[in-house]
Structure 1
Amino acid sequence: MTSSAADAAPRRPTVAVLGTGIMGSGMARSLLRAGLDVRAWNRTQAKAAPLAADGATVVETAEEAVRGADVILTMLNDGPAVAAALTAASPGLRTGQVLLQSSTVGLDATADLARRAADAGLVYLDAPVSGTKQPAEQGTLTVFVSGPSTARASVNPVLDAIGQRTVWVAETPGAASRLKLVVNTWVITMVNNIAECLNLAEGLRIDPQTFLDVMRGGPLDSAYLQGKSAALLSGDLTPSFSVSNALKDSRLILDAAQESGVRLDLVAASADRFARAEAAGHGGEDMIATYYAGRAPEKDGD
Structure 2
Amino acid sequence: MPYTPKTALLGTGTMGVGMAHSLLRAGLPVTVWNRHPEKAASLADDGATVAESLEEALRGAEVVVTMLFDADSVAEVMEQALPAFEPGTVWVQTTTVGRDGIARLAELAKTHGVPFYDAPVVGTKQPAEDGKLTVLAAGPEATRDAVQPVLDAIGAKTVWLGEEAGPASALKLVANSWVATITAGTAFGIAQTRAFGLDPARFLETISGGAADSPYLQTKGRAIVEDRTDDPQFALDGLRKDLGLIRDADEAAGVPTVLVDALLAAYGTAADRGRGGSDVAAVVAAFEADRDA
Q: The TM-score by the shorter chain falls in which range?
A: over 0.9
Identical aligned residues as a percent: 47
Q: Which of residues 1, 4, 7 is equivalent to 1:15?
A: 7
Equivalent residues of 2:66, 2:94 under 8 A apart: yes
Inter-partner Cα distance in structure 1 for 2:43 and 2:163: 33
Q: Determine the C-alpha separation between the residues in 2 that align with 1:224 and 1:90.
A: 38
**Correspondence for 1:101:** 93
In the TM superposition, 1:12-161 aligns within 5 A as 12-161=4-153
Alpha-carbon shift at residue 11 of structure 1 (Å): 4.1
Counterpart residue number, 1:244:
237
Give the structure 1 partner of residue 256 of structure 2: 263
d(CA) in 2 for partners of 1:200 and 1:296? 11
What displacement does 1:27 show? Answer: 0.4
After TM superposition, the structure 1 = structure 2 runs for residues 159-174 of structure 1, keeping only pairs within 5 Å, are 159-174=151-166
TM-fit CA distance, 1:122:
0.9
* SS of equivalent to 1:170: coil
Q: Which residue of 1 aligns with 2:267?
A: 274
Gaps of 5+ in 1: 1-8
Alignment partners' CA distance in 2, 1:278 and 1:93: 39
Deviation at 1:91, TM superposition (A): 4.3
CA distance in 1, matches of 2:67, 2:189: 33
8 Å CA contact 2:82–2:109 kept in 1: the answer is no
Q: CA deviation at 1:67?
A: 2.2
1:150-188, Cα deviation, whole Å (9 max, x unpaired): 121111111110001001101100110011111111111
CA distance in 1, matches of 2:108, 2:59: 17
Please give the alpha-carbon distance, in whole angstroms, between the structure 1 residues aligned to 2:125 and 2:280: 12
Cα distance change of structure 1 residues 209 and 37 upon mapping to structure 2, 3 Å threshold: same
Structure index of larger Rg: 1
What RMSD, in angstroms, separates the aligned Cα atoms of the two structures?
Answer: 1.2
- The Cα of 1:269 is off from its aligned counterpart by 0.6
Residue pair 2:51, 2:57 contacting (<8 A) in 1 also: yes
TM-score by length of 2: 0.96
Partner of 1:183: 175
For the residue of structure 2 that corresponds to 1:248, the secondary structure is helix
Q: Secondary structure at the match of 1:155?
A: helix
Among candidates 214, 231, 237, match of residue 222 of structure 1: 214
Distance 2:257 2:199 in 1: 32
- Provide structure 2 residue ranges, at least 5 long, that are not aligned to the other structure: none
- The Cα offsets for residues 134-164 of structure 1, whole Å up to 9 and x where unpaired, read as 0000001000011111121111111110001
* Residue 204, structure 1, aligned to residue 192, structure 2: no
Amino acid at match of 1:230: R
Contact 2:64–2:91, Cα closer than 8 Å, also in 1: yes
Query: Are 1:129 and 1:180, in contact at CA under 8 Å, matched by a contact in 2?
Result: yes
Deviation at 1:48, TM superposition (A): 0.5
Q: How far, CA to CA, are the matches of 1:63 and 1:120 in structure 2?
A: 16
Aligned residues: 290
User: For residue 235 of structure 1, what is the amino acid of its counterpart?
Assistant: D
CA distance in 2 between partners of 1:101 and 1:24 (Å): 12
Structure 1 position 96, deviation (Å): 2.6
Matches of 2:83 and 2:253, distance apart in 1:
38
After TM superposition, the score normalised by the length of structure 1 is: 0.93
Contact 1:159 1:166 in 2 (8 A): yes
